[in-house]
Structure 1
């Protein structure tokens, strides 16, 4: 477990899990939102993102939390030796996005880009959640399972599994 891709729907607890995983393993954590967005919430230039992303992928070890552009997502899946798909029920993800908004009124959410609007990000998360069933579906699970022949695959399907993932996985 040296190159870990953590991904899933918005508001699924990826950032919290990734931070705990980085703390337990000492592997450097790269939160994708901090690479994709500038401090004011605008997207970084695609070529700058691609270079940063490639530099991370070519390093000895990493944890990358998030989805990002589709091409980079596929590159991460290929480069990773460990895939962690956080697949909580939709109602839970909607609740976590809402809870992040409410807490974000007082404290910057975990992994949130500096200077980026929590309200704008929340609206984008709700929009993305509506579109998720087109991507996060049985075909995607099949693709991940096919990759598990050469990689470690973990699919986290409940809040309890999410909360206990690091304790159960890192020995």
Structure 2
């Protein structure tokens, strides 16, 4: 596990999972929302984002959390040796976007740029939920099905599987250290 792509629909806990995975593995975490958006929520120029994304891909070890844009998504998934696809039921994603919206006024959401506009960003997340579920989720599922033959693939489909994923990773690391 050297190059890890964590992806899935909005509100699925990608940032929290990625942060914990980075702590467990020691891999450097790159949060795409913090690369694609400046403090305050303004989007960086597309060429700047793509350049930084490519620089990250060219390094030896990384965890990349998030979507970014369609232009960079599939190349990132191709270059990753490990895919972590968070594919929870849609109602869980919806609830977690709502929870993040409510708590975001008291504690900035993990993985978001500093001073992100909570209302605007949350509304964008709600819009993305259905669009991703309808258009990207089938493509993600097909991609990971094919990728299983040559990559480490973790398809997380429930909240319980998130805890099981961390236990599995800890066990793998411990067995490598023996």
TM-score, normalised to structure 1, is: 0.96
CA contact (8 A) 2:8 2:137 kept: no
Distance 1:20 1:12 in 2: 14
Residues 1:110 and 2:105 are matched in the alignment: no
CA offsets per residue over residues 84-138 of structure 1, 9 Å max, x none? 0000000000000000111111010111111211111110000001212322344
Within 5 Å, give how 1:1-171 maps onto structure 2. Answer: 1-171=1-171
CA contact (8 A) 1:13 1:162 kept: no
Quote the offset at 1:37 in angstroms. 0.3
Distance 2:22 2:90 in 1: 26
RMSD across aligned C-alpha pairs, in angstroms? 1.1
CA contact (8 A) 1:10 1:125 kept: yes
Quote the offset at 1:148 in angstroms. 1.7
Distance 1:31 1:137 in 2: 20
CA offsets per residue over residues 56-97 of structure 1, 9 Å max, x none? 000010000001111111110111000000000000000000
Distance 1:161 1:95 in 2: 18
Flag the 1:139–1:51 CA change in 2: closer, same or farther, 3 A: closer
Distance 2:7 2:140 in 1: 12
Task: Give the ranges of 4+ consecutive aligned residues of structure 1 lying more than 4 Å apart after TM superposition.
Answer: none
Distance 1:54 1:133 in 2: 27
CA contact (8 A) 1:144 1:153 kept: yes
Flag the 1:74–1:86 CA change in 2: closer, same or farther, 3 A: same
Unaligned runs of 5+ in 2: 172-178
Distance 1:75 1:170 in 2: 28
TM-score, normalised to structure 2, is: 0.92
